[in-house]
Structure 1
């Protein structure tokens, strides 16, 4: 009987292999199921009787991790910066928590900024510590951005060289509030336009935004009944009004003024400093004392005087006749029946 060998390649749908010349294709039974090549199955190429299977490619070479020595210079700079700030009494990690970008500033840059502020503005180590706590962005700033601010304060805002240290100590944000052209100078022009001329006495306002801070407060005073002219007059008389919160200061104090005290708007116009006093510690206690004794005092007399003098005036009002019109105790709403 003649031996017939069937190669694996004969199963390929496109390849036919014969063992001898007489056999053109295998003699499969007629009911043998047809074989088809699975779509995603790959058969290795069989070029000879021996099956040759190619090995998978070698994995890509993993890049070498830099040795620890490559980070030594950065670590050294970080340590130098930490030690330098510590010598000034500044806790670097508290500074980092308040302003993370300071970590990217080199020790040379931080040192240069501090030395520039020392020599140009006369800042002491205590001033530097205060600036680092209130406005840590200053330590990561560029001298090219700080120098124009000092020049503006001296030449345009009217700050004297002797007062420059005090100005920066009080409001260090002036150094990084947005630049001379975009913030400081526009704010200066606005304050001058409403009649505030002694800008050097109110330099802290220069770091504020006209659109985001000044205009909303003027609009609030118009909303509660003041004309634009009267509102501007109040801010001109007492510029720190621009720094007070509408929700935390103006609204509760105005509500108490109108509802509990029952006063008129013209008193606020004459004494806008009313908003500078504590509602709980000064306004309410003194109003209640006046109310209990049946005494009506002007806002200025009731709030501005010291505690001892205030009590003395209450006693005078309770134990004497109606004050004359030129007395500071007299006001238009004085009721002679309260005594």
Structure 2
């Protein structure tokens, strides 16, 4: 067999891997730290060098403003002119500004245009003062928008021309409502539930269908009335939409059921019950009936005047028991 390493002389061992001065044939000496020699410097050899100038900070680019600039305020003279003009028609400028701040940026020309438009519709100075004090937003409403509201009331709500001023005086907020998004949808809603003559209840046109009208109808369905009964109540007495659930419905219904012990069917027949004062009309008259041992139908209990109520109460208490054919039979026996 041939030698695998022909470059080595024959019959000679391999040379040692490490020199002979290593006593141990291992790697321990390689792992020992060696002594390193660093040159030493004296204080004379150290020279001072000039420091490098500091690096300049990178300049942050300016970001352009996104918000639109504020509208310039009117001059001092224009401010005085508006104040004097509104004072000339009996309006307190600062009171209007507190309730409707955009008046400060409105021009004097726009304010005069609105007042002149109301005057052209035969509103007296006293009526304008009352309307604008109740609803200062009218002052910043353009005459073209006001004209749209007047046209809607006359043509779609069927308000008589002779009653138009009365409608606006009763509910000035109508002039600030948008016809497309508020007045017309409310008109359609009232007509759909059977209120045909909306012109008699124009104050409801400024109400929100989603936020005011529907929640009040849902309240009566929650306490036990079906949808048809609820519609019948509001159709019979549309002013029911104007009353608050927390301040009107709940306390009066609680007194009606708990203290008076009456049936809810009477509410369905006489929803005007909610239009009477609980403290000044309902409670005093009910307590008088309890003391006398008399039970009147709900409409006779509340709808009559004070004189008629007490006269009827005396008749029922002082007279003998009526015959069954008498109209007072149902009154004394609470058979409603």
Match of 1:195 in 2: 194
Give the unaligned 5+ runs of structure 2.
1-40, 57-71
**Higher mean displacement: 111-120 or 243-252:** 111-120
Match of 1:109 in 2: 110
Match of 1:207 in 2: 206
Match of 2:333 in 1: 334
Match of 1:10 in 2: none
* TM score, norm. by length of structure 2: 0.78
Q: How far apart are the structure 2 equivalents of 1:77 and 1:326?
A: 79
Taking the TM superposition and a 5 Å limit, the aligned residue runs for 1:153-192 are: 153-177=153-177, 179-192=178-191
1:320 aligned to 2:319?
Answer: yes
Seen in structure 2, the aligned counterparts of structure 1 residues 327 and 307 have a Cα distance that, compared at 3 Å, is farther
Q: Is the Cα contact below 8 Å between 2:173 and 2:206 reproduced in 1?
A: yes
Q: How far apart are the structure 1 equivalents of 2:216 and 2:251?
A: 15
Seen in structure 2, the aligned counterparts of structure 1 residues 198 and 326 have a Cα distance that, compared at 3 Å, is farther
Q: Is the Cα contact below 8 Å between 1:297 and 1:330 reproduced in 2?
A: no
Shift of 1:162: 1.0
Q: Is the Cα contact below 8 Å between 1:99 and 1:136 reproduced in 2?
A: yes
Q: Residues 16-45 of structure 1, C-alpha deviation per residue, up to 9 Å, x if partnerless?
A: xxxxxxxxxxx9745648758367489xxx
Q: Is the Cα contact below 8 Å between 1:235 and 1:242 reproduced in 2?
A: yes
Once superposed, what is the RMSD of the aligned Cα atoms? 2.5
Q: Which has the larger radius of gyration?
A: 2
Shift of 1:132: 1.8
Q: How far apart are the structure 1 equivalents of 2:281 and 2:110?
A: 47
Q: Is the Cα contact below 8 Å between 1:95 and 1:133 reproduced in 2?
A: yes
Shift of 1:77: 2.2
Aligned length, in residue pairs: 280
Secondary structure of the structure 1 residue equivalent to 2:225: coil
Seen in structure 2, the aligned counterparts of structure 1 residues 175 and 324 have a Cα distance that, compared at 3 Å, is farther
Shift of 1:133: 1.9
* TM score, norm. by length of structure 1: 0.77
Q: Residues 188-239 of structure 1, C-alpha deviation per residue, up to 9 Å, x if partnerless?
A: 0111111101111100000011111111000000011111100110000000
Give the unaligned 5+ runs of structure 1.
1-26, 43-69
Match of 1:148 in 2: 148
